[in-house]
Amino acid sequence: MPSGPRHARSSENGKAPMNLVVMKFGGTSVEDAAAIGRTAAIVKSRVAQGKTPVVVVSAMAKVTDQLLRAAASAAQGDRTGALAITSRLRGRHRDAAAELIKSPNECCALVDLIEQRFDSLDEVLRGLAVLLELTPRISDLIVSYGERLSSRIVAAAFCERGLDAVRVDAREIVITDSEFQRAAPLDALIEKRAHERLLPLLDEHKVPVMGGFIASNESGVTTTLGRGGSDFTGALIGGALSAEAIEIWTDVDGIMTADPRVCPDALRVKVISFEEAAELAYFGAKVLHPATILPAVKKNIPVSVLNSRNARCEGTRIISLAPHCRSPFKSIAVKKKLSIIDIVASPMLMTHGYLSQIFAVFDKHKCAVDMVSTSEVSVSLTVDSNASLPEIVADLSQLADVKCEGKKALVCMVGDDIRGQNGIAAQVFNAIRHINVRMISQGASEINMSFMIEEDDADEAVRSLHAAFFKDPDPGVFDTEARKAQTVNSEQ
């Protein structure tokens, strides 16, 4: 019995421990035995710091895609093709388990369980190859195997490495509506279940390990939160337990000031607001989809993006209020493969209801419009260059003269500190005065400035803008140490 004052047990007072951290590991952080080993070390380091972790894991990298391919093959009657995919997946999961778990009994038990799960998955696929109809509900059941298996393997690997881990079936906690493939969480129920299921485990100093992305409806039927939904699970659990922090472990150092492949002196952004991160994600920065961390933002829980291959790097912290920064921008994002559609010179142009007719065409083809600009005689819109573009143009031609030009890129400069600053636009366009700019917009959010250029000019534009605006970066917001270290290295 520990001596000293007895701390109130969380499960009795209904409050999660103060130092609770939800740690979400993406597919690359659990892709094989080596990655899972690194993940275990990261969680152990948090425990050593006195934190109380709750772990959420994705399926092993690419497994969700492959399960969806197996489902699609089976639904087309290609039973052999579908089973060939699961046979490879079976081997991959078994190999990871065997490499991670050295104690023979535990290893046998885990491998048995993996075999059983794949047997039942194969049964579903055989049935599908007969029925030839893949419903969203069956699709969710099939993809759920990815996270169900990864969470088992990770929990066993943690135990083997001295963590007192328990696998928890996320479907008992994350309750959603029945909108299969993109189910909406039922917050009150999730909060209740998270308290009931997780707090008693935390009282016993256990480390719960659960799959992200998978959930169930109120009748217990498996649902999923939509692709990439594991971050969402992390935020939901963090929100439900009012965690101190949420960590999203991926394979990048965090949000950068620009794509480092294009701009070698890009810097890591140490801290950014939720709104700024959301803007960047919309414009193609792939680090994380901010809508998924909304449950955390609403409760003011900071979210960090971290690299499981470089755990010492502090990553990027995403917080509710933008930190003050002495330069206007935090980051430059680029979205390529865009097309501009110019709709010109119709007598109907700009009359009542005209724009809605134009938008109805995009709606019909389920095509999102990125940017719109109108003048007296024309409307220009930008869209992803997608397969239905010729049809969209044909439909629009019924309304007006239409011109479509591909190979465009949208450059988006994001920063809370451009709000209300004068002369920023002039500085931006001065930095790229050698580049032809087609369309300009300053977002209604007042925290982004974007403009459309030729795709071939995009990299050069980013480098010029970066040179102009990140010459003297604020060390409170950007990782300037890394740049210093680089300079020293290259001088040696």
Are the beta carbons of 291 and 492 closer than 8 angstroms? no
How many whole angstroms separate alpha carbon 430 and alpha carbon 144? 51
Q: Choose the contact partner of 64 out of ligand ASP, Mg ion, none; CB within 5 to 8 A by kind.
A: ligand ASP
Instruction: Indicate the SS3 state at residue 383.
Output: strand
Please, which residue, 146 or 208, has the CB nearer to ligand ASP? 146
How many whole angstroms separate alpha carbon 343 and alpha carbon 109? 65
Please, which residue, 148 or 195, has the CB nearer to ligand ASP? 148
In the region spanning residues 15 to 74, those forming contacts with Mg ion, defined by CB under 5 A, are 26
How many whole angstroms separate alpha carbon 27 and alpha carbon 21? 19
- With a CB cutoff of 8 Å and minimum separation 6, the contacts of 266 are 256, 257, 258, 259, 260, 466
* Site pattern 387..426 for Mg ion (x: CB under 5 A): ----------------------------------------
Instruction: Indicate the SS3 state at residue 104.
Output: helix
Please, which residue, 229 or 254, has the CB nearer to ligand ASP? 229
Nearest Cα to Cα of residue 290 among 235, 237, 333, 330: 235
Shortest CB 114 distance to ligand ASP, Å: 17
Are the beta carbons of 173 and 193 closer than 8 angstroms? yes
Q: Is residue 146 within the footprint of Mg ion (CB under 5 A)?
A: no
Shortest CB 228 distance to Mg ion, Å: 5
Whether the CA torsion 10, 14, 19, 21 is positive or negative: it is: positive
Instruction: Indicate the SS3 state at residue 474.
Output: coil
Nearest Cα to Cα of residue 315 among 261, 257, 252, 265: 252
Shortest CB 227 distance to Mg ion, Å: 8
Q: Is residue 290 within the footprint of Mg ion (CB under 5 A)?
A: no
In the region spanning residues 227 to 256, those forming contacts with Mg ion, defined by CB under 5 A, are 228
Shortest CB 190 distance to ligand ASP, Å: 17
Please, which residue, 30 or 258, has the CB nearer to ligand ASP? 30
Size of the site for Mg ion (CB under 5 A): 2
Please, which residue, 43 or 63, has the CB nearer to ligand ASP? 63
Site for ligand ASP, rule CB under 6 A: 26-27, 58-59, 64, 146, 212-213, 227-230
Shortest CB 356 distance to ligand ASP, Å: 35
Please, which residue, 193 or 227, has the CB nearer to ligand ASP? 227
* Residues that bind Mg ion in the complex, under the rule CB under 5 A: 26, 228
